[in-house]
Chains A and B, each alone.
Chain A
Amino acid sequence: MRFRIYRYDPEKDAKPRLQEYDIALDPHDRMLLDALIRLKATDDSLAFRRSCREGVCGSDAMNINGKNGLACITNLKNLKEPVDLRPLPGLPVIRDLIVDMSQFFKQYHSVRPYLVNDTPPPERERLQSPAAREQLDGLYECILCACCSTACPSFWWNPDKFVGPAGLLQAYRFIADSRDHDVNQRLDNLEDPYRLFRCHTIMNCVDVCPKNLNPTLAIEKIKDLMVKRTV
């Protein structure tokens, strides 16, 4: 199978280049990651992240034929050749398919992604109704792969100011949690021309999310709450 892969090693390359490969696949090779591992066994200089190989750790996000996705759950059968592989767009490239995700995680951390509830905890669990717990479905499953934020033009333009879809999805995950007591501060933290309101509902995030989550919907819900508390 034919591949065209973005290569860049700052120690050797003045600028990035595209390298073509023909990979002889094994009949058991099912996913794009299988092909990359087969390739790496012959050219060990190709650098990419990977770990769980089942779509739950979020390591192997990359730009595959122009669309962000996880290599480990992208079936080779569905890919047009030559398969064009590039690093996630909009983030600095460290080497080959490995990007520097500091900015992405900085935005995630900026939403205070942890439960805030300063009442003394009971001896047992805090109770939560099944209906209240359901509010977290579609939110807590995020794997922080960054496919969404690096597909978002608003994030490309303002990665330092716009929280981005992944961070906002997690902001809403805590706003929506009946056990969290910090909704107002969480909204204050996003009330800013950039942090939340740079989302222009382009919905690339929804289109690429490998876990089928919907950051745009979460963002809309945060905006609704903002409006509700001002009236």
Chain B
Amino acid sequence: MTVPVRQFDAVIVGAGGAGMRAAIELAEAGLSVAVLSKVFPTRSHTVAAQGGIGASLGNMSDDNWLWHMYDTIKGSDWLGDQDAIEYMCRMAPQVVYELEHFGMPFDRNADGTIYQRPFGGHSANFGERPVQRACAAADRTGHALLHTLYQRNVRERTQFFVEWMALDLVRDAEGAVLGVVAMEMETGDVYVLQAKATIFATGGAGRIFAASTNAFINTGDGLGMTARAGLPLEDMEFWQFHPTGVAGAGVLITEGVRGEGGILLNCNGERFMERYAPNLKDLASRDIVSRSMDQEIKEGRGCGPHKDYVLLKLDHLGPDVIMKRLPSIREIAIKFANADPIKEPIPVVPTIHYMMGGIPTNIHGQVVAPRHGDPGVVVEGLYAVGECACVSVHGANRLGTNSLLDLLVFGRAAGDFIVSRNLAALAHKALPPDAGDASLARLARLDAATSGERVADVGNELRRTMQSHCGVFRNEALLAEGVAKVMELEDRVARSAIDDKSRTFNTARVEALELDNLIEVAKATIVSALARHESRGAQARSDYPNRDDVHWLKHTLWYREGNRLDYKPVHLTPLSVESFPPKARTY
């Protein structure tokens, strides 16, 4: 069977912050670019980011990119690559100013500069005191950012393929990536989109868990495609629990609430973070706050009839601050928790929020995989940026506000790097004769399957399994049982079926194709978590409670074939400054 082919200099998969930031560079340079998105660009999940973008502008008090770098490395529990972290923190002010020049409606200080708020783990002078580093547009920073980037792309006349889903990578015999196979959702038509550069900006995959702040679209499509193409995924055991998801609903409540002065209370009305993090208290890094909350709940000091959440109190900030700085939080709390935070606290629980791991890349966004003993060999033609990538700036735990920064810095970096390669002058490589066959086979299976378990049921079971076997606290027995269950679920995914056989906007088919990606992400996560015998950042093993730098100061690489694991060293040498050697992590 032949699949129609369309050719572009570059194809970007995903129109969130990272994809659209990269697109601006490529479109400005006059390259022919196709940006694919499962949803209209401004519906991408970047839209849900609330608190801010970290950058050492120093608008509120002295700040320095080196302090930001230190906070990021410490936040990462020393698993982050220090060269990439230096690059990101040094670039931060520039990308924020650019965003402002694009029209971003940042909040302002009296002197007209961008308003910055305190955030978890942000400190001045290497941990000495909190610093206001999070550049904010009320509590809608992600929304404002995503719309601003879309607007800039409208100006640059970027070509969007809206409601298109990428299905699989196309690679040639040498392993070079030549584009993607993609489906137009409205018609069900399948195409090969051939490109000299393919950029994955597909975002996170929080929908492998039952309770998640993530949107429904966050199904790890880029990771699934990468894994099926035989390439590794890095550090997948590290998933961030955001301390403050609305209990029961999972909807995010920004850390900016605590940045503005909100505090966490247990059932005794105690501000318990003072015990766990005497210096930064409620603004310790997210892994620490989430574990502390879980500990309080486990020891019977949770709130409510089942003692299964804690309270986020902010009424003492006063209605003016809440209405001006946190208006959407108030809306969310009223709608999803029946609580008006001007008067009463919000019930919150740690909730899956962010994937620190992803597709391994270098600081140009080029995807890398080990070959002949070199862990950093470039996969020709393939790039990854944003949450789907692991560059690795977040290591074992991401600092709040560094996700939006990551999108801007590495979206731009990959775009610039691709522009420097002068793609317009290069010829397209020949497509392999079987390009598209694997995707067509997946679609044909769904068309043919007349009986089988429902996709929704298998997906829900996968989410429940990951939630109960790969949560805040992990141990060998729990994880091993989880691995067995997930492997069994893999077979069930392969046999699942849908009733809807229509070609027109078949959302059941989209969900089935997404499940193929979710299962890869879930396997990578739980297999990597079982193997890592230490606690570091977001990976908390009750059977290995300490960080073990002797054996585990290294990145995990998971391969789909045979569930194989490999490891590679952490880059402890920054680009230009002295290394920050690992030390004990207290806040």
B residues less than 8 Å from A59 (CB atoms): 39-40, 43
A residues less than 8 Å from B456 (CB atoms): 40-41, 44
Is there a chain B Cβ closer than 8 Å to A141's Cβ? Answer: yes
Which residue in chain B gives the minimum CB-CB distance to A140? B105
Please judge, given known A-B contacts A45-B502, A124-B97, whether A30 and B105 are in contact too, CB under 8 Å. no
Is there a chain A Cβ closer than 8 Å to B335's Cβ? Answer: yes
A residues less than 8 Å from B108 (CB atoms): 127-130, 132-133
Proximity string of chain B (482-517) to chain A, C-beta cutoff 8 Å, 1 when within and 0 when not: 000000000000000011101111111001000000
Are A51 and B113 in contact, with the CB atoms below 8 A? no
Which residue in chain A gives the minimum CB-CB distance to B163? A49
Are B152 and A133 in contact, with the CB atoms below 8 A? no
Is there a chain A Cβ closer than 8 Å to B106's Cβ? Answer: yes
Is there a chain A Cβ closer than 8 Å to B217's Cβ? Answer: yes
Which residue in chain B gives the minimum CB-CB distance to A8? B504
Partner of B335, one of A50, A55, A124, A136: A55
Are A52 and B47 in contact, with the CB atoms below 8 A? yes
Spot the interface stretch: A17-25, A94-102, A194-202, A216-224.
Answer: A94-102
B residues less than 8 Å from A207 (CB atoms): none
B residues less than 8 Å from A136 (CB atoms): 105
Is there a chain B Cβ closer than 8 Å to A76's Cβ? Answer: no
> With A and B bound together, what is the CA distance between A140 and B144 in angstroms?
7
Are A51 and B508 in contact, with the CB atoms below 8 A? no
> With A and B bound together, what is the CA distance between A105 and B215 in angstroms?
23
Are A51 and B105 in contact, with the CB atoms below 8 A? no
Is there a chain A Cβ closer than 8 Å to B528's Cβ? Answer: no
Is there a chain B Cβ closer than 8 Å to A192's Cβ? Answer: no
> With A and B bound together, what is the CA distance between A112 and B457 in angstroms?
45
> With A and B bound together, what is the CA distance between A94 and B507 in angstroms?
12
Proximity string of chain A (28-51) to chain B, C-beta cutoff 8 Å, 1 when within and 0 when not: 101000000000110111011111
Interface range on chain B (Cβ under 8 Å from partner): 35 or more
B residues less than 8 Å from A43 (CB atoms): 499
Please judge, given known A-B contacts A9-B504, A114-B154, A130-B109, whether A54 and B42 are in contact too, CB under 8 Å. no
Q: Separation in Å of the B366 CB from the closest CB of chain A? A: 29
Please judge, given known A-B contacts A57-B48, A127-B112, whether A47 and B328 are in contact too, CB under 8 Å. no
A residues less than 8 Å from B506 (CB atoms): 47
Partner of B42, one of A114, A117, A129, A143: A143
How many chain A residues touch B (CB < 8 A): the figure is 58
The A interface, classified by DSSP as helix, strand, loop or mixed, is loop
Please judge, given known A-B contacts A114-B155, A130-B108, A133-B105, whether A52 and B43 are in contact too, CB under 8 Å. yes
Is there a chain B Cβ closer than 8 Å to A115's Cβ? Answer: yes
Please judge, given known A-B contacts A113-B151, A129-B112, whether A47 and B505 are in contact too, CB under 8 Å. yes
Residues 243-270 of B contacting A (Cβ, < 8 Å): 248-249, 251-252
Proximity string of chain B (99-132) to chain A, C-beta cutoff 8 Å, 1 when within and 0 when not: 0111101111111111000000000000000000
> With A and B bound together, what is the CA distance between A114 and B108 in angstroms?
20
Residues 33-57 of B contacting A (Cβ, < 8 Å): 39-40, 42-45, 47-48, 57
9 interchain pairs (CB within 8 A)?
Answer: A30-B336, A41-B457, A53-B215, A54-B332, A59-B40, A73-B335, A95-B505, A130-B107, A177-B103
Binding site for A on B (CB under 8 A): 39-40, 42-45, 47-48, 57, 96-97, 100-103, 105-114, 137, 140, 143-144, 147, 151-152, 154-155, 186, 215-217, 248-249, 251-252, 328, 331-332, 335-336, 454-457, 460, 498-500, 502-508, 511
Other than the given A52-B45, A140-B105, 20 more pairs (CB < 8 A) read A40-B508, A44-B454, A44-B499, A44-B508, A45-B500, A48-B507, A51-B43, A51-B216, A52-B48, A57-B43, A57-B44, A59-B39, A112-B155, A114-B155, A124-B113, A127-B112, A128-B108, A133-B105, A143-B143, A144-B40
